[in-house]
Amino acid sequence: MNLSVLDQSPISEGLTGADALRNTLDLASLSEQLGYRRYWLAEHHGTPMLACSSPEVMIASIGSTTSRMRIGSGGVMLPHYSPLKVAETFSILSALFPDRVDLGIGRAPGSDHSTAFALQRDRRQPAPDDFPQQLAELLGYLENRMPAGHPFARLAALPGRPHVPEVWLLGSSAQSALWAADNGLPYCFADFINPDGATYAKLYGDRFCTAETRAEPRRMVAGFVICAETEEDAQRIASSARMTRALLNQGQSIPVPPIDKALRFLAKHGPSPDTVARPRRAIVGDPAAVKKGIEELADLYGAEEVMIVTITYEHAARRRSYELIAEAFGLR
């Protein structure tokens, strides 16, 4: 089983977005040394908690400082963009880093509604809900299969050819599973968003349509994981993420708080679905427990690969978590 990293570039209280982006570069270099398969950058906008609003910029930087690990987006939120612009950008990245670039595509805005509206070029009315058409156009450019006579057919001569990214569809719903299956795409399910997606992963496999370049379904699952030397340490470290989750569920986004502050918050508000990790939403513990949890998560989804997202207050704790997981699985 391959293990990979999904980095949301968390901003800790007292630090800046620039600090968070430098931490992302540091963690990417470490992840390659540790033997992780791929490193994806998430896209979020207008939040004080997460710094990366432009995965393609970070992909270029990380690609320049690594040599083996696959790099990509987890994901590009396609409704914000022209499919042609996304195709051209990732075509260039693929030319710069051949056989290493992934283009993970998502439908979610990665922001609140007002921020999503601010990202629109034309604000006379809300953007149309036409994701399937956007996806089809994007694949037409990348796979050079625009219909004959299509007014944009010549634009499939992308600047980075013959290199192209590997396209993944990301999601946390039955609809995303169907889109991935119908387009013959690899599928990455966000269990850390929706822990009830095993049936959707099965639906994807049952519905999968063979594509010219992909004969079999490929599943990856992304889970939230924190590992430390002891169960007690891991639970303490996880308190910061639990506080941010509790407030996020109430519509409030904050920088990742220090552990002591988070522990006081959790003690005051008591255990609830918002403050205690639900089954499969978070895998928290020592190396043995985390290894077992990751293996169970992969089995649940029938996934060949698990992508790990970790948010901690201290960057050193995040680094150590990935180190311990790599050691537990013998990635080196």
Q: What is the pLDDT of residues 63-88, one digit of tens each?
A: 999 999 999 999 999 999 999 999 99
Query: Could you tell me the residue range of the domain that residue 103 belongs to?
Result: 2-329
Q: 0.85 exceeded by the pTM?
A: yes
Domains held by the chain: number: 1
CB pairs under 8 A, 24+ apart, for 60-68? 60/93, 60/96, 61/25, 62/24, 62/25, 62/28, 63/93, 63/96, 63/97, 63/100, 63/101, 65/25, 65/28, 65/29, 66/28, 66/29, 66/32, 66/39, 67/32, 68/32
Find all residues with CB under 8 Å of 128, minimum gap 6, and list them: none
CA distances from 194 to 172, 303, 310 (A): 6, 16, 16
For residue 284, what are its two tokens? 């928290």
Q: What percent of the chain has pLDDT over 70?
A: 96
pLDDT digit string, tens, across residues 172-202 = 999 999 999 999 999 999 999 999 999 999 9
From 244, 246, 254, 230, select the one nearest 317 (Cα to Cα): 230
Facing residues of 103 across strands?
A: 73, 167
Residue 180 φ then ψ, to 5°: -65, -45
CATH at 15: 3.20.20.30
